[in-house]
Amino acid sequence: MSARNPGIDLDLEWVSKVKVNTQAVLKRAQQIQGRKVGKKQWQAAWLLKAVTCIDLTTLAGDDTPSNVHRLCLKATQPVRHDLLKSMDMHDKGITTAAVCVYPSRVADAVKSLKAANSSLPVASVATGFPAGQTPLRTRLEEVRMAVEDGATEIDIVINRTMAITGQWAGSDFIKTSTGKESVNATYPVAIVMVRAIRDYYLRTGHKVGFKPAGGIRTAQESLVWLALMKEELGNEWLSPHLFRLGASSLLADIERQIYHFVTGRYAAYHELPMA
C-alpha cells in the first residue's frame, strides 16, 4: 500500500460537478478491451504482473484453517517454480499481493504465512461484509479484532445508505464492489472510478489505489484490467501498492497461460498445484 491518504474535508460541490458521458465511457471501455498488450514474453510479463496484484481470496462460509493454509502457500508460490525459472523470474519475488479472508480466518492466515516465513500481508473484509448493514459499533469492533489478529489491510463495505444519501468517507483504496453482487467489476464503471482517482490526485496530490473484485476469472480479463490502469492512470498504478485484483479462481487460469507460454502445451488442471 502506498502512502496513506490523509483525506480532505467533504466537498459535495466537487462531487456534484462531476460529469460523466455514458456513451463516451462505454466507447472507451470497448477501446481498452480491444487494446492488445502483446504476445509471447509481453503476455507472460503482463500476466506475472497481474499475479503480483492479486488479492488471493477465499470468502466462503465453509472456510477452515486447512483451505486457508493452502491458499496462503499458493499465494507465496503462485506460479510453479520451474515455470518461473525458465523465464528467469524465479528469484524476482513473484507472489500475490495479499491473501484476503473473513475476519475469523485472519489468525489462521497469519499463522500459516508466518510458518512459511512469508511477510505477505493479510487482508480482511471486516465491517459486516458483504451488505455492510450492521451497526457502526459492531463494524468498528470487527475491524479492531481483525487488526489485532494480524490483518494489515481492511476492505470496508461502505455504508451505502449514507453514500446514496450523499454522506461519503475517504479511503486509501477504492474497490468496485464486494464481489458478491449480481454485477461486480465492469470496465465502464471502473473507468469512472479511476478517473475519480485521477481527479483526486490532480487536486490533492494523493494517490488512491483501485481494486476491482468479483467475476474476474480469466487471464485475458486480468490483462484488460492492467491495460485500463495503464491507459487511464499510467504505469505508476501498475503495482500492488496502487492496484489489486480481487479474485479466487483467476490465478489458476493465469498459471495455465504461463504454462502454455513456457512449454507450448496446454496444461491439465491437475498439472498445476491447487490453492
Which residues form the catalytic set?
175, 211
Choose which of 3, 4, 23, 164 interacts with other proteins (CB under 8 A).
23
Q: What length is written for the chain?
A: 275
**CB of 233 vs other proteins, minimal distance in Å:** 8
Measured from the CB of residue 41, what is the shortest distance to other proteins in angstroms? 5
Q: Which member of 202, 205, 269, 270 binds other proteins (CB under 8 A)?
A: 202
Least distance CB 87 / other proteins (angstroms): 4
Q: With binding defined as CB under 8 A, does residue 90 bind other proteins?
A: no
| Piece of the chain touching other proteins by CB under 8 A; list 14-22, 64-72, 114-122, 144-152 | 14-22
Q: Single out the residue of 12, 15, 24, 274 in contact with other proteins (rule: CB under 8 A).
A: 24
Q: Which residues, other chains included, contact 210 with Cβ-Cβ below 8 Å and sequence gap of 6+?
A: 173, 174, 175, 190, 193, 194, 197, 229, 233, 237, 242, 243, 244
Count residues near other proteins (CB under 8 A): 39
Nearest-CA neighbor of 179 among 269, 106, 244, 265? 244
Q: Which stretch binds other proteins (CB under 8 A): 73-81, 117-125, 152-160, 229-237?
A: 229-237
Which residue of 175, 230, 244, 256 would you call a contact of other proteins, by CB under 8 A? 230
Print the binding letters for residues 26-65 with other proteins: x by CB under 8 A, - otherwise: xxx--x---xxxxxxxxxxxx-xx----------------
DSSP per-residue letters across the chain: --S--------HHHHHH----HHHHHHHHHHHHT----SHHHHHHHHHHHHHTEEEE---TT--HHHHHHHHHHHHS-S-HHHHHHTT-TTS----SEEEE-GGGHHHHHHHHHHTT----EEE-TTTTTT--S-HHHHHHHHHHHHHTT--EE-PPP-HHHHHTT-----SEEES--S-SSS---HHHHHHHHHHHHHHHHHH-PPPEEE-BSS--SHHHHHHHHHHHHHHH-GGGSSTTTB-EEESSHHHHHHHHHHHHHHSSPPPGGGS---
Binding of residue 260 to other proteins (CB under 8 A): no
With binding defined as CB under 8 A, does residue 193 bind other proteins?
no
Q: To the nearest whole angstrom, how small is the minimum distance from the Cβ of residue 37 to other proteins?
A: 6
The nearer residue to other proteins, 57 or 222, going by C-beta atoms, is: 222
User: Binding to other proteins by residue 210, rule CB under 8 A?
Assistant: no
Nine-digit cell string for 137: 459499533
Site for other proteins in 91-120 (CB under 8 A): 92
Considering the rule CB under 8 A, would residue 234 count as an interface residue with other proteins?
Answer: yes
How near is the Cβ of 189 to other proteins at its closest, in Å? 13
Q: What does the binding site for other proteins look like in residue numbers (CB under 8 A)?
A: 19-28, 31, 35-46, 48-49, 87-89, 92, 195, 198-199, 202, 226, 230, 233-235, 238
